[in-house]
Structure formats: structure tokens, C-alpha cells
């Protein structure tokens, strides 16, 4: 009985959050934005919008830890959409970070080739 | 959206490359030699310059570079493009889309994986041309102003990066081959920059290209409304309703605009119709109910 009650409270609390969330939005509250319209067609749960607020702080903190200037970090998270923020929150460490110079590539490729050679996977060097 | 899987087909793309018989090279594209690991800022500055934005890689570094990752993320490349009032559009995973952009005079920023799938080496470069005689692409890449890479080799490195490519569009420009869903989702994100004039220009172009697309019409109406142009907003919504009379979202927004214009009874009728069109259990219903409550409160001043 108690369990059932708490489950119901959760559902009610969540429903309240979902219903009141549009209220928290600014002046154009009654206008349904294109972003919302897209979400509606994609059936993205509204819960994700709540998470976006949390994601913002989390991504900002992560950027600062990774060496980004705190003032820049704030402006950078402001430039991201809710969906982008959530993607970054979950995958900031895994997403491709393009940045390699050509010199580094040559170095990495050489190391890989040497390792493969040592493991006798290839015979790149012994060919010569 | 990010690493979008290997949707394209390497063999089909090689065939498309074989068919590309005219040489293209956007020789006026600026070149910013890459400093150490900052190919992201260099590549982005290159395409933004062509799109009319005067910005240097050094300035972009504070917008997109992450020291701890020694590089720049795709999502931040998009966000930074929006900050400079250009629309970042991700191309379809197809080499024909790249050719089409080059022909339109836009260099294409690509992500490459110069390593392997298991040991990726991520790199941004800008495709500025294609030489059919040599079957090579011309890139602004790293410290090379005119890197001529064999087409097959380029395709492999691009495939390993999920065929990711983007262009920076001046608001109001729609690529010939643009996919409406991709383009409109880029615009939905662009709206958040708050530049109403640019957003309006972008949606006007979208509606001109896809007159039957309700999302484009919704965006245009919203953009006018955000800019305080109530009559234009009303006309934009009305145009969508001629194609799709039972679109509850459009009716909702139209009701809000009517209310803001002082046509309260019309607004009340419109919102009642909108409400009757959606399922009581749906999220749409709650959103529309919300609007109804707001516009029916006496003395409730319109949002403008």
C-alpha cells in the first residue's frame, strides 16, 4: 500500500512538473516553438527538457575542468540547444574532438606500424 | 546526427565521383595554417570568412577549443556558427551533396578520421575543390593550403568519421539539395540566437522552397511574432492552414497572435477548435489548454 502510494506521488509530482513547465517559460509562453513542434513529432519525452537545465551546469563544469576559461564556458553552454547539452553531458569524453595536426598523424601511424610489426601482424618493414 | 552511421555507400559515391567531370576549385577561399592541434578554429574561420563573417581562428579558439580534449567538438562547431549569425547546416552523408555545395560557391567543412575505427585520429579540414583529371579533392588542411588528396583515400577517412560535413549559410540561403527536416531543425536551433531579422529571412527562404511544409510555416509565423509583426505572423499561419486546416499547433499559435492583436473572441474560437482536434491524453492538449487559460484571463495583457 505504501509503495503504491509513493509511486502515485511520483507520478503526480512528475505530471505537475510537466504541466507547469510551460508556465516557467518567458513572454511567448502560448506560442508553440518549432523546437517543441519537432519534439512533438519525434515524441521526445518532456522530461528531457527538465534534464537540460541540469545538463547545462554539468557541461559547463566539465568544460572548465577540461581547461576552458570559466567565462568562455558559460557563453559556450548558452549557445547550445537543450538537445545538444544533453548529448554533451552524456558523451563529452567520447565524442570526436577534431584537432590533430599532420605531424602527429605521421607519428601515430609510425608507432602503430612498429607495434604491428613487432607483433608480426604485418611485415611492412621486413618488405624492404 | 553525430556519427550518423555509415548511411552512404562507398561504391555509389565512387561512381558519383567518376561522373563529376567538371573541375571546381574555390580558389578565393582563405587559408589559415593550423597551429598545433587547432584545426577546428582554422577550418571554421575558413568557412565563416567565405560566409561573410570577419573572424580569426584565434578568436574562435575561445569558442570551440577544449584544451583537455586537444580539439573541438562537432556540436560546438555548430553552436559557434550560430553565435556568428550563420546557419550551420549538416550535409547529407553523400558526396553529391559536397559537390552541390562547391558548385554553389560554398567550401565544405569535413570531419575526417585519419586513423582507424579503433584508434581514431580526428581532423577537421575544408574541401574547396575537386580535380576530375587527377580524381583528387583539394583541401585546406593542417599546414597545407592546397592539399590534393586522392578521392578514394578522402572517402575512406570521411567514412570513418560518419561522413560528417557542414556548411555555414547566410540566413536566407537554402542549399539546392537541402533536406527539409535537417534544414528546419538547424533553423529551430538558430532561432535561439535571438536575431529576429535573420530568423525571419531564413524562414522566408524555407517557406519559398517548401511551400507545403507546415513546420516552415510555423517557424515563419513564430519569427514574425517574436519580432512583434502580428499581421505578418497571422498571414504566415493562415497560409499553413490553407494546406493543413486541422493543424492544432498552428491554430494554437494563431489564437495567441489574435489575442495579442486584440481580437479576443476570434482567439477564443480558434483555440477551442485547436483543443477539439487533439487527444485529451496528449501533450499537445496540455499545451493548448495552457494557451486557452492564458488568453481567456480577463485583463491579461498580451505578451508584446
Which has the higher per-residue pLDDT, B9 or B150?
B150
Total-model pTM: 0.82
Model pLDDT, residue A27: 44
Calculate what percentage of chain B has a pLDDT beyond 90: 84
Q: Tell me how many domains chain A contains.
A: 2
Q: C-alpha cell of B167?
A: 556548411
Q: What is the residue-averaged pLDDT of chain B?
A: 92
Chain B CA closest to residue A70: B62
Q: Please give, rounded to a whole number of angstroms, the shortest distance from the CA of B74 to a CA of chain A.
A: 7
Chain B CA closest to residue A81: B189
Q: Is the dihedral of CA A34, A37, A43, A49 positive or negative?
A: positive
Q: Based on the domain organization, do A120 and A90 belong to the same domain?
A: no
Least confident of A8-12, B88-92, B199-203, B235-239: A8-12
Helix runs in B84-150, H state only: 95-103
Q: Which domain holds residue A103?
A: 98-128
Residue B179 DSSP code = -
Q: Based on the domain organization, do A24 and A34 belong to the same domain?
A: yes
Model pLDDT, residue B8: 54
Q: Based on the domain organization, do A38 and A76 belong to the same domain?
A: yes
Q: Based on the domain organization, do A114 and A64 belong to the same domain?
A: no
Q: Please check whether residue B218 touches A, CB under 8 A.
A: yes
| E strand or H helix at A112 | helix A102-118
Model pLDDT, residue A102: 54
User: Tens of pLDDT along B68-112?
Assistant: 999 999 999 999 999 999 999 999 999 999 999 999 999 999 999
Segments of chain B assigned to CATH 1.25.40.10:
180-296
Q: What single string gives the DSSP state of each residue in A19-46?
A: HHHHHHS-TTTTSPPHHHHHHHHHT--T
Q: Based on the domain organization, do A43 and A77 belong to the same domain?
A: yes
B-chain CB neighbours of A46 within 8 Å are 283
Whether the pLDDT of residue B4 is over 90: the answer is no
Q: Based on the domain organization, do A7 and A53 belong to the same domain?
A: yes
Q: Based on the domain organization, do A104 and A44 belong to the same domain?
A: no
Model pLDDT, residue A105: 58
Segments of chain B assigned to CATH 3.90.70.10:
10-169
User: Tens of pLDDT along B27-65?
Assistant: 999 999 877 678 999 999 999 999 999 999 999 999 999
User: Tens of pLDDT along B276-286?
Assistant: 999 998 889 99
pLDDT tier, A16 (very low <50, low <70, confident <90, very high otherwise): very low
Nearest to B71 among A28, A98, A109 (CB): A98
> How far is B179 from B70, CA to CA, in rounded Å?
33
Which residues of B, range 61-120, sit inside 8 Å of A by Cβ?
62-76, 78-80, 82-83, 111-116, 119-120
Model pLDDT, residue A118: 74
Please say whether the beta carbons of B229 and B201 come within 8 A: no
pLDDT tier, B10 (very low <50, low <70, confident <90, very high otherwise): confident
Model pLDDT, residue B278: 94
User: Tens of pLDDT along A81-122?
Assistant: 988 998 999 899 889 999 875 555 566 667 777 777 677 766
> How far is A95 from B294, CA to CA, in rounded Å?
42
Q: Based on the domain organization, do A46 and A102 belong to the same domain?
A: no
> How far is B51 from B298, CA to CA, in rounded Å?
48
Identify the CA nearest to B141 among candidates B122, B120, B127: B127
Model pLDDT, residue A107: 65
Does A108 sit within 8 Å of B188, measured CB to CB? no
Domain B180-296 maps to which CATH number in 1.25.40.10, 1.10.8.350, 1.10.3720.10, 1.10.357.10? Answer: 1.25.40.10
Q: Based on the domain organization, do A87 and A62 belong to the same domain?
A: yes
- Selected for mutation to probe chain B from A34, A42, A52 (highest B CB count within 10 Å) is A34
Domain B10-169 belongs to what topology? Answer: Cathepsin B; Chain A (3.90.70)
Model pLDDT, residue A77: 95
Which residues of B, range 138-177, sit inside 8 Å of A by Cβ?
141-144, 161
Q: C-alpha cell of B205?
A: 527562404
Please say whether the beta carbons of B90 and B101 come within 8 A: no
Whether the pLDDT of residue B26 is over 90: the answer is yes
Whether the pLDDT of residue B1 is over 90: the answer is no
Calculate what percentage of chain A has a pLDDT beyond 70: 53
Which has the higher per-residue pLDDT, A31 or B168?
B168
Model pLDDT, residue A1: 43
Please say whether the beta carbons of A116 and A81 come within 8 A: no
Model pLDDT, residue A20: 43
A-chain CB neighbours of B3 within 8 Å are 96
Q: Based on the domain organization, do A41 and A90 belong to the same domain?
A: yes
Please say whether the beta carbons of B35 and A42 come within 8 A: no
Average pLDDT over residues A11-24: 45
User: Tens of pLDDT along B176-225?
Assistant: 999 999 999 999 999 988 889 999 999 999 999 999 999 999 999 999 99
Average pLDDT over residues A118-127: 59
Q: Based on the domain organization, do A29 and A56 belong to the same domain?
A: yes
Model pLDDT, residue B6: 44
Q: What is the residue-averaged pLDDT of chain A?
A: 72
Assign 3-state DSSP to chain A and report helix, strand, coil percentages, each to 5: 70, 0, 30
Does B255 sit within 8 Å of A30, measured CB to CB? yes
Does B111 sit within 8 Å of A40, measured CB to CB? no
Model pLDDT, residue B132: 96
Nearest to B290 among A30, A33, A35 (CB): A30
A-chain CB neighbours of B293 within 8 Å are none
Model pLDDT, residue B180: 95
Model pLDDT, residue B254: 97
CA atoms within 13 A on the CB side of B296: 11
Model pLDDT, residue B9: 77
Helix runs in chain B, H state only: 10-19, 39-50, 57-64, 74-83, 95-103, 151-159, 180-191, 196-209, 214-226, 230-243, 248-260, 264-277, 283-296
Q: What single string gives the DSSP state of each residue in B210-242?
A: -TT-HHHHHHHHHHHHHTT-HHHHHHHHHHHHH
Please work out, in degrees rounded to the nearest 5, the angle formed at the alpha carbon of residue B7 by the alpha carbons of B3 and B10: 110
Average pLDDT over residues A43-54: 64
Q: Based on the domain organization, do A92 and A43 belong to the same domain?
A: yes
B186: three-class secondary structure by DSSP: helix
Chain B CA closest to residue A16: B286
pLDDT tier, A18 (very low <50, low <70, confident <90, very high otherwise): very low
User: Tens of pLDDT along B194-206?
Assistant: 889 999 999 999 9
Average pLDDT over residues B145-152: 96
Amino acid at each position: 500500500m505504501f509503495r503504491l502510494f509513493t509511486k502515485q506521488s511520483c507520478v503526480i509530482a512528475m505530471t505537475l512538473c510537466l504541466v507547469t513547465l510551460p508556465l516557467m517559460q518567458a513572454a511567448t509562453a502560448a506560442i508553440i516553438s518549432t523546437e517543441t513542434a519537432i519534439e512533438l513529432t519525434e515524441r521526445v519525452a518532456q522530461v528531457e527538457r527538465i534534464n537540460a537545465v541540469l545538463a547545462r551546469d554539468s557541461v559547463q563544469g566539465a568544460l572548465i575542468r577540461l581547461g576552458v576559461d570559466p567565462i568562455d564556458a558559460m557563453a559556450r553552454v548558452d549557445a547550445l540547444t537543450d538537445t545538444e547539452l544533453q548529448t554533451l553531458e552524456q558523451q563529452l569524453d567520447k565524442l570526436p574532438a577534431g584537432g590533430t595536426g599532420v605531424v602527429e598523424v605521421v607519428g601515430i601511424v609510425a608507432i602503430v606500424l612498429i607495434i604491428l610489426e613487432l607483433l608480426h601482424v604485418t611485415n611492412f618493414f621486413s618488405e624492404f | 546526427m553525430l556519427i550518423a552511421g555509415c548511411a552512404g555507400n562507398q561504391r555509389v559515391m565512387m561512381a558519383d565521383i567518376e561522373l563529376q567531370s567538371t573541375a571546381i576549385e574555390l580558389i578565393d577561399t582563405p587559408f589559415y595554417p593550423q597551429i598545433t592541434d587547432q584545426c577546428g578554429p582554422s577550418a571554421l574561420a575558413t568557412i565563416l570568412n567565405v560566409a561573410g563573417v570577419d573572424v580569426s581562428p584565434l578568436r574562435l579558439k575561445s569558442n570551440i577549443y577544449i584544451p583537455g580534449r586537444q580539439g573541438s567538438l562537432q556540436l560546438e562547431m555548430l553552436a559557434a556558427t550560430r553565435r556568428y549569425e550563420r546557419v550551420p547546416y549538416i550535409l547529407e552523408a553523400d558526396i553529391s551533396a559536397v559537390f552541390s555545395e562547391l558548385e554553389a560557391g560554398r567550401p565544405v567543412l569535413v570531419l575526417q578520421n585519419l586513423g582507424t575505427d579503433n584508434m581514431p585520429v580526428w581532423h577537421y579540414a575544408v574541401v574547396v575543390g575537386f580535380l576530375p583529371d587527377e580524381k583528387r579533392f583539394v583541401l585546406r588542411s593542417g599546414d597545407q593550403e592546397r592539399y590534393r588528396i586522392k578521392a578514394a583515400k578522402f572517402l575512406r577517412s570521411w567514412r570513418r568519421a560518419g561522413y560528417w560535413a557542414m556548411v555555414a549559410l547566410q540566413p536566407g540561403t537554402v542549399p539546392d539539395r537541402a533536406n527539409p527536416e535537417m534544414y528546419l531543425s538547424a533553423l529551430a536551433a538558430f532561432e535561439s540566437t535571438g536575431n529576429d531579422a535573420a530568423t525571419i529571412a531564413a524562414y522566408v527562404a524555407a517557406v519559398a522552397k517548401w511551400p507545403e511544409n507546415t513546420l516552415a510555416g510555423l517557424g515563419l509565423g513564430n519569427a514574425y511574432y517574436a519580432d512583434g509583426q502580428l499581421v505578418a505572423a497571422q498571414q504566415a499561419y493562415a497560409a499553413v492552414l490553407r494546406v493543413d486546416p486541422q493543424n492544432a499547433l498552428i491554430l494554437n499559435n494563431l489564437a495567441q497572435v489574435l489575442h495579442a492583436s486584440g481580437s479576443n473572441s476570434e482567439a477564443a474560437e480558434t483555440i477551442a477548435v485547436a483543443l477539439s482536434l487533439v487527444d485529451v491524453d496528449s501533450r499537445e492538449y496540455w499545451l493548448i489548454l495552457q494557451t486557452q487559460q492564458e488568453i481567456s484571463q480577463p485583463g491579461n495583457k498580451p505578451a508584446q
